[in-house]
Amino acid sequence: MIGIPHDQTGAPHVEPDAPIGARWYAGTSTCTGARVLLAVAHAAILVLGAGLVGEPADSVAAVLRSIDLNDATLAKRVVELQRAAYQIEADLIGFNGIPPLHETLDDVQTLPLYWRGSFEDHILAGIIGWTIVNDVCDIDRLAVHPRFARRGHGRKLVNSLIEQRTITVSTGTKNLPARQLYESLGFIRTGEREIASDVTVTTYERSA
């Protein structure tokens, strides 16, 4: 993992020292040796099958912890989790060029992101990855494994960053469940752009 700390938010209900281990845009994938047209927001992982519609705020006793992807076992779980979640997104929008569907273990371990996981019964159920540049927190990806859908993991992961002054995120315009989640948490739509044939991205921002 690139030398980045794994917890800066100071958000409540997070265990920063636990020893465990979507934003889309038109550009180049972080996958080694691959250039992929990015078509919808990384944060659009949580879609119909991943249970954003009517997702309760506190449906399970999830434990949120910073995660270190230097742990190969944990990193492998992240790869498997995001592929399962992003496949639902791909099916929903009819686009298979979503980078997390194709990232390898090495790719994920070298992403310059802060990482946090949501655990249910000690099992990694959801992840969020983000960057902080010039005091702006950008959600790069948000994923909940379909097995743990509709239990509040996605909402809790986003809420763990709410103390950041400014948060930005992008999601596929057709991904209504993801958009509903962000809007319910106070994110304001800031724009929309087409990045592939019949594929558009909606951008959001939330300021404290």
Q: What is the pLDDT of residue 8?
A: 40
- The number of domains in the chain is 1
Q: How large is the C-alpha radius of gyration of the chain?
A: 15
Q: Which of 142, 124, 129 is nearest to 179 (CA)?
A: 142
Residues (pLDDT < 70) of the chain are 1-59
Q: In what order do the strands lie in the sheet with 188-196?
A: 14-15, 63-66, 114-120, 123-133, 136-144, 166-172, 199-207, 188-196
Tell whether 162 is covered by a domain. yes
184: tokens are 């319910």
φ, ψ for residue 106, nearest 5 deg? -65, -40
Tell me if 59 is assigned to some domain: yes
- Residue 3 lies inside a defined structural domain of this protein: no
Which tokens sit at 149?
């859908």
Q: Is residue 9 part of a domain?
A: no
| pLDDT tens digit sequence for 186-201 | 999 999 988 788 888 8
Q: What's 51's domain CATH number?
A: 3.40.630.30
The residue count for the chain: 208
pLDDT of residue 35: 33
Is 121 part of any domain?
yes
Answer yes or no: is 2 within a domain.
no
Check: CB of residue 122 under 8 Å from CB of residue 15: no
Q: Which domain holds residue 188?
A: 14-207
Residue 4 lies in a domain: no
Which pLDDT belongs to residue 159?
96
- What local confidence, expressed as pLDDT, does residue 151 receive? 92
pTM above 0.85, yes or no: no
Task: Decide if 7 is inside a domain.
Answer: no
Q: Rounded CA gap, 143 and 145, in Å?
A: 7
In this structure, are residues 21 and 68 in contact, taking their beta carbons and an 8 Å threshold? yes
Antiparallel, parallel or unpaired: β 188-196 and 166-172: unpaired
Question: In this predicted structure, what is the pLDDT of residue 116?
Answer: 98
Q: List, in sequence order, every residue forming a beta bridge with 167; answer none if it has no partner.
A: 137, 206
**What pLDDT is recorded for position 198?**
87
